[in-house]
Amino acid sequence: MYFIVFSLLVVLAVYRFRLTGRSSVIYTYIYIYIYICIYIKIKLEGGVLTTDLYTKPSNLNLYLHYDSYHSNCTKKGIVFSQALRVKMICSDPEKTQQHFGELRSNFQDRGYPSSIVDPACERVQNLSREDLLAGKGRRTRKPVRAPLVVTRNPRLPNLRSIINKYFHILQLSPNLMNVLSSPPQVIYRQPRNLQSHLVRAKLVENVKNVHKGCYKTHFKNCVTCNVLQETDRVYSNATGETFTIFSTITCMSVGVVYLINCKDCGKQYVGETGGELRVRHRGHRQEIRKGNTPLGQHFQICKNFDLIGLQSLVNASKQKREAIELRWIYRLGSLSPVGINVKDVRTVS
Ligand SMILES: [Zn+2]
Ligand SMILES: [Zn+2]
């Protein structure tokens, strides 16, 4: 009966989708329909609809094995979420207990100790099914804590307890107390696995026939091309190191990290723009006329400079461009007083 009602709803949703072109409703109905077909057994008993967990006969309960190198939080989370699923789907308390028993034995077969399975089941048992089905409502945002991102390794000690134990030492410094008002949040990054070694998500373009580097496109009437240096390498006057430019950059490139090289004193400046390089260069020429920025003031004294595009970042966010700009500032050593950049070093991550 229930399936028929939902089938009708899906048919109606498809019909409405054809008429109105609205897709969100149809996807919601189809999702509910599939969810009910796969996970829920519905019965009409004594005029009341009851729901129970449905598992396909072919289901082998192959949960993540306890011997896997995943973190303990992940394993605990799997047990808890499975217990939660049973509690939410099953409307009969007796059958819920029965499913909890099955869950315990399934997890034990996968090597989970009862010290992990039992507390998770007990915790879920103490929750009210009505509250769980009602949902959490709108969550209030927790204050953001500084993240400490670490590559996951099973040999790592318990970082959270170490941080909590010694955090008071950091609090002794007034500067650190301002930066870290609460202990940082430990976030584990997934280490490289076999898949990430073998599979690339990004298609690598055939770079053999593409010229990399910085190129002039206009040979007259372009003030940017006049100062643009045609090169595929960039030399740091501060460190003496040479770096290769892997992007193709012209005065019309959009989203660029670039270098301004003073030909008189050798000081360098790294900047970024989300717009065209030639538009940003126009902005710099105004700064030089007004002398209202460190770059403008520098080139009121020194007169000759050239421009090199370091990296093209099409469609990258400003945050990403700024991060790459900072990387180039440190690579080339262009921070004041050696160079012209006056970025706040504390923003470097
Ligand atoms: Zn040009
Ligand atoms: Zn100079």
Distance from residue 238's CA to the centre of ligand 2 (Å):
13
Residue range 331-348: mean pLDDT, rounded: 78
Helices then strands, counting H and E runs in the chain, come out as: 13, 11
Distance from residue 216's CA to the centre of ligand 1 (Å):
6
pLDDT at 51: 87
pTM of the predicted structure, to 2 decimals: 0.47
Distance in angstroms (rounded) separating the CA atoms of residues 103 and 90: 13
Q: Which helix or strand (DSSP H or E) is residue 248 part of? A: strand 248-249
Collapsing DSSP to helix, strand or coil, 223 comes out as helix
Distance from residue 224's CA to the centre of ligand 1 (Å):
5
pLDDT at 4: 55
Q: Which residue has the tokens 């690339």?
A: 200
pLDDT at 240: 92
DSSP letter at 119 equals H
Residue 248, amino acid = T
Provide the β-strand partners of residue 261: 268, 306
pLDDT tens digits along 11-26: 555 555 555 555 555 5
Average pLDDT, whole number, for the chain? Answer: 84
Res 345 pLDDT > 50: no
Distance from residue 223's CA to the centre of ligand 1 (Å):
7
Neighbouring residues of the ion ligand 1, judged by CB less than 5 Å: 218, 222, 224-225, 251
pLDDT at 271: 94
Give the confidence band of 244 by pLDDT, cuts at 50, 70, 90: very high
Distance from residue 282's CA to the centre of ligand 2 (Å):
19
Res 166 pLDDT > 50: yes
Distance from residue 20's CA to the centre of ligand 2 (Å):
64
pLDDT tens digits along 30-65: 556 555 556 777 777 777 888 888 888 888 888 999
Residue range 102-114: mean pLDDT, rounded: 93
337 cis-preceded (ω within 30 degrees of 0): yes
Give φ, ψ of 47 to 5 degrees. Answer: 80, 5
pLDDT at 228: 93
pLDDT at 31: 56
Distance from residue 341's CA to the centre of ligand 2 (Å):
12
pLDDT at 349: 36
Res 171 pLDDT > 50: yes
Residue range 325-342: mean pLDDT, rounded: 92
Which ligand approaches the C-alpha of residue 301 most closely? 2
Q: How far lies 215's CA from each of 78, 225, 248, 251, in Å?
A: 55, 8, 8, 8
Which ligand approaches the C-alpha of residue 219 most closely? 1
pLDDT at 254: 93
Which ligand approaches the C-alpha of residue 214 most closely? 1
Which ligand approaches the C-alpha of residue 304 most closely? 2
Distance from residue 275's CA to the centre of ligand 2 (Å):
26
